[in-house]
Amino acid sequence: MTALVLAPVASARLLARAAFVPNDTGVTSASGPAGGWQEVQWELNGPFGINAPQAWSQASRLDGSGGRGVTVAVLDSGVAYADRGPYRRSPDLSATRFVRGHDFVDDDPYPNDEFGHGTFVASTIGATANNSYGTVGVAYRTLIMPLRVLDFQGRGYPRTIARAIRYAVQRGADIINLSLELYDAPPQPPVPRSVTASRSVRAALAEARASGVLVVAAAGNSFDPRVPGKRYDTLALNVGGTTEHGCLGSYSNHGPGMDLVAPGGGTDDPLTTDPNCQLDSPPGRDISGVSFPTGEPRRFEILPRFRGTSTAAPHVSGVAALVIASRVIGERPAPAAIERHLEATARDLGVPGHDHLYGAGIVDATAATTPLPTPSG
């Protein structure tokens, strides 16, 4: 199914280009309307979304359809990747799209999800497109490497995360998605920290960087102006969360190490003077996707209750996969090159230029997958 959209060109003329509009229904059934995903996934095609449909068409023309050939490691609560005992594979994640993963919580080769969070994150990155079911992943042909580092309550430990990062690097991941956050442990009150605050995680991130693996990390959900910090911020691409109105989410950390933002849903930042923020209006919608309610790993549905930087980060991971697959910045680009490109093509929000609330702005999939001009002369 295709639709015609108008895209501006350098000469200020307008050209009609076909944008890929998958037939996914937006419900967990084939009986829903073809293309119904557009009604629930505002973050892909809305005014303050990531501008995905045109990017899908551009990536396909560049032989990078849906992020094909790129492997994204999802370090989370596991993923509903297979039928095993009480678990079922998500109907929106094809069995052919998984590479071997590992459960670092139970230390076995079966990273089934018991919490639901990791399945949602994996679906945001790579839910199957054009299957008359559910939602569409940003990079719907990527390979997913499920790595379980969080338990059935969504809790984990830095050393576990560090082991999983090294596993992903050693087994060929191109991108690592970290939709998790670190806190100081009890008995003191929880204090949010940057993902680089842990020495063991930091060392693993440095190895990933040296090996050419991009790490995308959620900034965290404590609305803390100090997190992510600037120190060590080159080890991961730090992503904050924005609302349907294009405002910083009321949950999103927004420290000096912020690199980019992406849709995370929820309520607008109550403290900002950003004119995009609509404090007297109803909250914007949350992010919707296919997963299962916690404790019910056999029952899949569209879950509209997810909000936060955990949902923002996988949007950036998906766009990064499209960039790598389409080779718009060359074969096997280094993490620093991908980061610079995503920041340079982001849509500015808030005060002009890079700032601690929005970083370089909201990631733009179409701009990021547009081939760079060929140098003249």
In a domain, 373, yes or no: no
Ramachandran sector of residue 221 (left: φ over 0; alpha: ψ -120 to 50; beta: rest): alpha
Residues that are catalytic:
76, 117, 310
Q: How far apart are CA 218 and CA 211, in angstroms?
A: 21
Quote the pTM value: 0.93
In a domain, 374, yes or no: no
Expressed as residue numbers, the domain containing 172 is: 2-368
Residues of the chain with pLDDT under 50: 1-17
Which parts of 171-247 fold into alpha helices (H)?
Answer: 199-210
Percent composition of the chain: helix, strand, coil (DSSP 3-state, to 5): 25, 20, 55
In a domain, 266, yes or no: yes
Cα–chain center distance at 207: 22
User: How does pLDDT run across 60-110, given as a tens digit for each residue?
Assistant: 999 999 999 999 999 999 999 999 999 999 999 999 999 999 999 999 999
Cα dihedral 144, 145, 146, 148 sign: negative
User: How does pLDDT run across 132-176, given as a tens digit for each residue?
Assistant: 999 999 999 999 999 999 999 999 999 999 999 999 999 999 999
Q: How far apart are CA 174 and CA 285, in angstroms?
A: 31
Q: How far apart are CA 110 and CA 287, in angstroms?
A: 28
CATH number of domain containing 197: 3.40.50.200
In a domain, 71, yes or no: yes
In a domain, 377, yes or no: no
User: For residue 368, which phi and psi values (nearest 5 degrees)?
Assistant: -70, -25
In a domain, 375, yes or no: no
| Closest CA relative to residue 336, chosen from 218, 175, 209, 228 | 209
Split into its structural domains, the chain has a count of 1
Please enumerate in sequence order all residues whose Cβ is within 8 A of that of 81, keeping only pairs 6 or more positions apart, or say none.
89, 90, 93, 95, 98, 101, 111, 112, 113, 144, 146
